[in-house]
């Protein structure tokens, strides 16, 4: 093991988690392929770590200790890309705050991204203006950086489009942050193809840095991005980051139509994901995996990585074992063109 944790307080992440590294970075246990994030020049691991489990109630990653375990295991496994947001965790800022002590120790091994301005969540900064406004953005980045214990993020993502604010204002504010060195690149999330195109043409017209990435829901059971944002991303030269890549864990193979692990997010709080799953297709997919002696997790991640334009599969994980398995799946299996189509045909894209 590369890192040894000494935890003084499981729940208080302000108490510095002390880590001993034996030259972390040279000691990664395996290599994960790295990919360019669009045209940004950023190099991200093909499997990243989605960080919305950090601070999630009833998971091992509710605590600073559990979060640090998963983050260090990710780095040891060759994952460099960490995707969080100000809203993740049981309280606003909790995921970022729990990550901070590890970021402080391992910043150079990380490509770090966070998000701001989700229009459907309450924010303590709402008094400053809407999430896409200049005043909000300027305060929001400073608070995220403080929680994350760093002075810059590699990618700052606008979490949802904000119809209350002209995109010109959002882009100008984000460009100020790039000029000030607080942010290296900017991305968007949950934008439509049209919104992505407009943002790029406005940025070019104003001589501003453009968004370099799009993050939208995408997995075998939710392929609607293929209608609009995925082709747009390729046209515009953006990187693509799929959220819910494992469909909340349903595509890991640990569920059958009769149920799954009691301690999983799906069985605890998202029963509808299980209830609404197309179990006939899931069983055909399971048989496909079995016939090739691969796990459903390997097939799911292998398939996503074969989708044109895919940058990094930002799968979430609640345990060290999960994050290692996800990292392993970046290299363990790649579909042939025929297999890629076979898998896609199990789960036809909805209109």
Ligand X SMILES: NC(=O)c1ccc[n+]([C@@H]2O[C@H](COP(=O)([O-])OP(=O)(O)OC[C@H]3O[C@@H](n4cnc5c(N)ncnc54)[C@H](OP(=O)(O)O)[C@@H]3O)[C@@H](O)[C@H]2O)c1
Active site members: 88
| Distance from C-alpha of 322 to C-alpha of 328, rounded to nearest angstrom | 10
Burial degree of 333 (CB within 10 A; 0-12, 13-18, 19+): buried
| Distance from C-alpha of 347 to C-alpha of 324, rounded to nearest angstrom | 27
Based on the shown chain and the rule CB under 6 A, indicate whether residue 195 belongs to the binding site for ligand X: no
Select the residue interacting with ligand X from 147, 158, 265, 274 (CB under 6 A).
265
Is the distance from CB of 347 to CB of 281 less than 8 angstroms? yes
Least CB distance from residue 8 to ligand X, whole Å? 26
| Distance from C-alpha of 193 to C-alpha of 163, rounded to nearest angstrom | 15
Q: Which stretch binds ligand X (CB under 6 A): 64-72, 120-128, 246-254, 335-343?
A: 246-254
| Distance from C-alpha of 25 to C-alpha of 2, rounded to nearest angstrom | 10
Based on the shown chain and the rule CB under 6 A, indicate whether residue 117 belongs to the binding site for ligand X: no
Q: Which stretch binds ligand X (CB under 6 A): 15-23, 204-212, 237-245, 333-341?
A: 237-245
Is the distance from CB of 239 to CB of 155 less than 8 angstroms? no
Q: Which is nearer to ligand X, 35 or 176 (CB)?
A: 35
Nearest CA to 317 out of 29, 6, 48, 12 is that of 48
Least CB distance from residue 301 to ligand X, whole Å? 9
Based on the shown chain and the rule CB under 6 A, indicate whether residue 316 belongs to the binding site for ligand X: yes
| Distance from C-alpha of 66 to C-alpha of 71, rounded to nearest angstrom | 9
Cβ neighbour number for residue 4 with a 10 Å cutoff: 11
Q: Which stretch binds ligand X (CB under 6 A): 192-200, 282-290, 315-323, 338-346?
A: 315-323
Here's the x/- map for ligand X, 1-40, by CB under 6 A: it reads as: ----------------------------------------
46-65 residues in contact with ligand X (CB under 6 A) are: 50-53
Q: Which is nearer to ligand X, 200 or 318 (CB)?
A: 318
Based on the shown chain and the rule CB under 6 A, indicate whether residue 95 belongs to the binding site for ligand X: no
Least CB distance from residue 311 to ligand X, whole Å? 13
Q: Which is nearer to ligand X, 167 or 314 (CB)?
A: 314
At 264, is the secondary structure helix, strand, or coil? Answer: coil
| Distance from C-alpha of 215 to C-alpha of 196, rounded to nearest angstrom | 11
Residues forming contacts to ligand X in the complex (CB under 6 A) are 50-53, 83, 159, 189-190, 215, 243-249, 252, 254, 264-265, 297, 314-318, 322, 325-326
């Amino acid at each position: 093991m590369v890192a040894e944790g000494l935890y003084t307080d499981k729940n208080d992440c302000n108490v510095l988690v002390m880590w001993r590294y034996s030259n972390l970075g040279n000691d990664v246990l395996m290599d994960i392929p790295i990919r360019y994030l669009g045209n940004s020049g950023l190099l991200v691991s093909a499997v990243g770590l989605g960080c919305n489990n950090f601070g999630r109630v009833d998971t091992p990653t509710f605590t600073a200790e559990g979060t640090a375990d998963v983050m260090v295991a990710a780095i040891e496994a060759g994952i460099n890309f960490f995707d969080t947001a100000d809203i993740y965790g049981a309280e606003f800022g909790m995921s970022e705050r729990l990550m901070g002590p590890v970021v402080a120790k391992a910043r150079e091994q990380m490509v770090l991204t966070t998000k701001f301005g989700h229009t459907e969540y309450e924010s303590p900064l709402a008094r400053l203006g809407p999430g896409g406004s200049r005043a909000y953005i300027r305060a929001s980045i400073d608070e995220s950086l403080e929680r994350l214990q760093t002075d810059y993020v590699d990618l700052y993502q606008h979490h949802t489009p904000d119809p209350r604010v002209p995109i010109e204002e959002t882009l100008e504010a984000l460009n100020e942050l790039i000029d000030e060195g607080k942010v290296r690149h900017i991305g968007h999330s949950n934008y439509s193809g049209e919104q992505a195109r407009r943002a790029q043409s406005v940025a070019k017209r104003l001589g501003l840095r453009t968004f370099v990435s799009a993050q939208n829901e995408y997995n075998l059971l939710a392929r609607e991005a293929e209608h609009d944002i995925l082709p747009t991303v390729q046209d515009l030269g953006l990187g693509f980051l799929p959220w819910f890549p494992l469909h909340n864990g349903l595509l890991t193979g640990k569920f059958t139509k009769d149920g799954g692990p009691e301690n999983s997010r799906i069985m605890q709080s998202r029963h509808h994901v299980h209830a609404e799953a197309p179990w006939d297709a899931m069983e055909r997919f399971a048989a496909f995996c079995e016939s090739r002696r691969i796990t459903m997790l390997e097939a799911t991640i292998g398939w996503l990585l074969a989708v044109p334009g895919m940058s990094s599969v930002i799968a979430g994980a609640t345990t060290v074992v999960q994050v290692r398995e996800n990292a392993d799946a970046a290299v363990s299996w790649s579909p042939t063109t025929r297999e890629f189509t076979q898998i896609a045909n199990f789960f036809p894209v909805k209109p």
